Structure 1
Amino acid sequence: MTHSDDALLPLDAVRPAAAAPSKGAPVPAPSLPVARVAVDNPLSHLDRPFDYLVPASLHETAQAGVRVRVRFAGKLVDGFLLERAEESEHTGKLACLERVVSPERVLTPEIAGLARAVADRYAGTLADVLRLAVPPRHAKAEAAVPGPASSARPPEEPRPAPAVDPHGPVTGGRSSGETAGQGGAGEWGAYPMGGSFLEALRERRSPRAVWQALPGATGWAGAVARAVRATLDGGRGALVVVPDGKDVALAETAFAGLLEPETYVALTADLGPAERYRRWLRVLRGPVRAVVGTRAAMFAPVPELGLAAIWDDGDDLHAERLAPYPHAREVLALRAHRAGAAMLIGGYSRTAEATQLVATGWARPIVAARQTIRSLAPRVKPAGEDAELAKDQAARAARLPSVAWRALRQGLESGPVLVHVPRRGYLPAVSCQRCRTPARCALPPTRAGARPGENGTLDVSGSEPLCHGPLALRSGHAAPYCRWCGRVDAGWRCSHCGGPRLRAMVIGARRTAEELGRAFPSVPVRTSGRDGVLATVSAARALVVATPGAEPVAEDGYAAAVLLDAWALLGRADLRAGEEALRRWMNAAALLRPGAELVVLGDAALPAVQALLRWDPITHAERELADRAELGFPPAVRMATLTGAAAAVRQMLDEVRLPAEAQVLGPVPIDEAGRERAMIRVPRGGGAGLATALKGASGVRAARKAPDVVRVSVDPLDLI
Structure 2
Amino acid sequence: MLVDVPLAHLDRPFDYLVPRKLDADVVPGARVKVRFAGQDVDGFVLERVAESDHPGRLAPLRRAVSAEPVLSPAVGRLSKLVAARYAGTRSDVLRLAVPPRHATTEKQESAPAPAPGCGDTEAAERAWQPYGGGLVDALATGGTPRVVWTALPGADWPTLLAHAAAATLTSGRGSLLCVPDHRDVARVDAALTAVLGAGRHAVLTADAGPAERYRAFLAVSRGAVQVVLGTRAAAFAPVHRLGLVALWDDGDDLYAEPRAPYPHTREVLLTRAQEEGTAAVVGGFARTVEGEYLVRTGWAADLAAPRTVVRATAPQVAVTGATDRELERDPGARTARLPRTAYDAIRTGLEHGPVLLQTPRQGYAASLACDRCRTPARCRTCQGPLHLPRPAEPPTCRWCGTPEPQWACGECGNRGLRAPVLGERRTAEELGRAFPRVPVRTSGGDHVLAQVDAKPSLVVATPGAEPVAEGGYACVVLLDTWLMLSRPDLRTAEESLRRWLNAAALARPGQQDGRVVVVGDPADPALQALVRWDPSGFAGREMAERQSAHLPPASRLATLTGAEDDLEAATAALTLPEGAELLGPVPADDDQLRLVVRVPRAAGPALSRALVELQGVRDAKKLPALRVQIDPVALE
In structure 1, give the amino acid aligned to 2:493: G
Match of 2:580 in 1: 662
SS of 1:541's equivalent in the other structure is: coil
Quote how far apart the aligned CAs of 1:699 are. 1.4
* Match of residue 276 from structure 1: 213
Deviations 1:493-527 (A, max 9, x none): 33334443322131111110111111111101000
Q: 2:61 aligns with which of 97, 101, 108?
A: 97
Cα deviation, 1:143-180, whole Å, max 9, x if unaligned, reads 223379xxx99xxxxxxxxxxxxxxxxxxxxxxxxx99
**Other-structure match for 1:531:** 446
Does the 8 Å CA contact 1:427/1:504 hold for their aligned counterparts? yes
Picking from 453, 464, 471, the partner of 2:386 is 471
- Give the deviation of 1:380 after TM superposition: 0.6
| 1: CA distance, partners of 2:606 / 2:340 | 57
Deviation at 1:386, TM superposition (A): 11
Match of 1:674 in 2: 591
1:362-401 deviation per Cα after TM superposition (whole angstroms, max 9, x unaligned): 0000110111111111101101379998767697998311
For the Cα contact (< 8 Å) 2:337–2:519, is it kept in 1? no
Q: How does 1:232-271 map to 2 (within 5 A)?
A: 232-271=169-208
Q: How far apart, CA to CA, are the structure 1 residues paired with 2:240 and 2:420?
A: 53
Out of 502, 525, 530, the position equivalent to 1:607 is 525
Counterpart for residue 428 of structure 1: 366
Q: Secondary structure at the match of 2:508?
A: strand
Distance 1:627 1:532, change over 3 A: same
AA of the residue aligned to 1:288: V
Given the superposition, is the C-alpha separation of residues 75 and 496 from structure 1 closer, same or farther in structure 2, using an over 3 Å criterion? farther
| Residue 457 of structure 1: aligned partner | none
Deviation at 1:475, TM superposition (A): 1.7
Partners of 1:63 and 1:656 lie apart in 2 by 39
Task: Report if the CA contact (8 A) 1:65-1:80 is conserved.
Answer: yes
Contact persistence 1:643–1:677 (CA under 8 A): yes
Q: Match for 1:406 among 322, 344, 348?
A: 344
CA distance in 1, matches of 2:566, 2:410: 36
Q: Deviations over 1:534-589 (max 9, x none)?
A: 00001111100000110000011000011000111111101111111110000000
Secondary structure at 1:102 match in 2: coil
Cα gap change, 1:650 to 1:495, in 2 (>3 Å): farther
Distance, in Å, in 2 between the alignment partners of 1:121 and 1:376 is 40
Distance 2:123 2:474 in 1: 32
- 1:255-654 correspondence to structure 2 within 5 Å: 255-384=192-321, 399-443=337-381, 467-595=382-510, 596-654=514-572
The Cα offsets for residues 96-143 of structure 1, whole Å up to 9 and x where unpaired, read as 211111111000000000011000000000000000000111111112
Percent identity, aligned pairs only, is 54
* 1:487–1:72 CA distance, 2 compared to 1 (3 A): farther
What SS does the aligned partner of 2:380 have? coil
| Equivalent residue number for residue 131 of structure 2 | 191
SS at match of 2:261: coil
What amino acid maps onto 2:130 in structure 1? A
Other structure's SS at 1:278 match: helix
Structure 1 residues 386, 313: CA separation in 2 closer, same or farther (over 3 Å shift)? farther
TM-score (norm 2): 0.95
**Residue in 2 that maps onto 1:219:** 156
- CA gap of 1:468–1:645, structure 2 versus 1, over 3 A, is farther
Amino acid at match of 1:432: C
Q: Could you tell me how far 1:470 is from its partner in structure 2?
A: 1.8
Number of aligned pairs?
A: 628
| 3-state SS, counterpart of residue 561 of structure 1 | strand
Q: Is 1:714 paired with 2:626?
A: no
CA contact (8 A) 1:306 1:340 kept: yes
C-alpha spacing 1:84/1:486, structure 2 compared with 1 (3 Å) = farther
Looking at structure 1, the residues matched to 342 and 333 of structure 2 have their Cα atoms a distance apart, in angstroms, of: 9
1:470-492 CA deviation, whole Å, 9 max, x = no partner?
Answer: 22111231122222223333443
Structure 1 window deviating more from structure 2 (367-376 vs 259-268): it is 259-268
2:25 counterpart residue number: 61
Relative to structure 1, the CA distance from residue 385 to residue 276 in structure 2 (aligned partners, 3 Å threshold; closer, same or farther) is farther
Amino acid at match of 2:529: A
Q: Hey, what's the Cα distance between the residues in 2 that align with 1:416 and 1:79?
A: 55
Which residue among 131, 140, 143 is the counterpart of 2:104? Answer: 140
Q: Does 1:72 align with 2:36?
A: yes
Structure 1: 5+ residue stretches without partners: 1-36, 154-178, 444-466
Give me the whole-angstrom Cα distance separating, in 1, the residues matched to 2:532 and 2:452. 28
CA distance in 1, matches of 2:439, 2:309: 34
CA distance in structure 1 between the partners assigned to 2:135 and 2:580 by the alignment: 40
CA contact (8 A) 2:124 2:167 kept: no
Q: CA deviation at 1:181?
A: 4.4
Dislocated runs of 4+, deviation >4 Å: 179-182, 385-398
Distance 1:39 1:622 in 2: 44
* Pairing of 1:12-161 with structure 2 (within 5 A): 37-146=1-110
In structure 1, the partner of 2:144 is: 206
Q: CA RMSD in A?
A: 2.1
Comparing 498-507 with 305-314, which one deviates more in the overlay?
498-507
Q: Secondary structure at the match of 1:211?
A: strand
Q: After the TM superposition, which of the residue ranges 45-54 and 357-366 deviates more from structure 2?
A: 45-54
In 2, the alpha carbon distance for the partners of 1:58 and 1:555 equals 58
More displaced stretch, 602-611 vs 382-391? 382-391
Question: Residue 8 of structure 2 aligns to which amino acid in structure 1?
Answer: S
Counterpart of 1:211, as a letter, is: W
Letter in 2 for 1:470: P
> Equivalents in 2 of 1:387, 1:484: separation in Å?
41
Indicate if the aligned counterparts of 1:187 and 1:219 stay in contact, CA closer than 8 A. Answer: no
Amino acid paired to 2:361: R
- How far, CA to CA, are the matches of 1:385 and 1:530 in structure 2? 30
Q: Secondary structure at the match of 2:65?
A: strand
Unpaired stretches in structure 2, ≥5 consecutive residues: none
- What is the CA-CA distance between 1:705 and the residue it aligns to? 1.4
- For 1:335, give the aligned amino acid: R
| CA deviation vs aligned residue, 1:438-475 (integer Å, no higher than 9, x gap) | 222222xxxxxxxxxxxxxxxxxxxxxxx222221112
How far apart, in 1, do the equivalents of 2:372 and 2:271 lie? 57
Residue 93 of structure 1: how far off its partner (Å): 2.5
Alpha carbons of structure 1 residues 291 and 390: separation in structure 2 relative to 1, 3 Å? farther
Contact kept, 8 Å, 2:322 with 2:339, in 1: the verdict is: no
Q: Report the Cα distance in structure 2 between the residues aligned to 1:388 and 1:66, rounded to whole angstroms.
A: 74
Q: AA paired with 1:105? A: P
Contact 1:398 1:512 (8 Å CA) reproduced: no
Aligned residues of 2:559 and 2:630 also touching (Cα < 8 A): yes
Q: Normalised by the size of structure 1, how large is the TM-score?
A: 0.84
Once the 2 structures are TM-superposed, how far is the Cα of residue 341 of structure 1 from its aligned partner? 0.2
Q: 1:618 offset after TM fit, Å? A: 0.9
- Map 1:161-172 to 2 at 5 A: none
Counterpart secondary structure, 1:262: coil
Deviation at 1:49, TM superposition (A): 1.3
Moved more, 180-189 or 204-213: 180-189
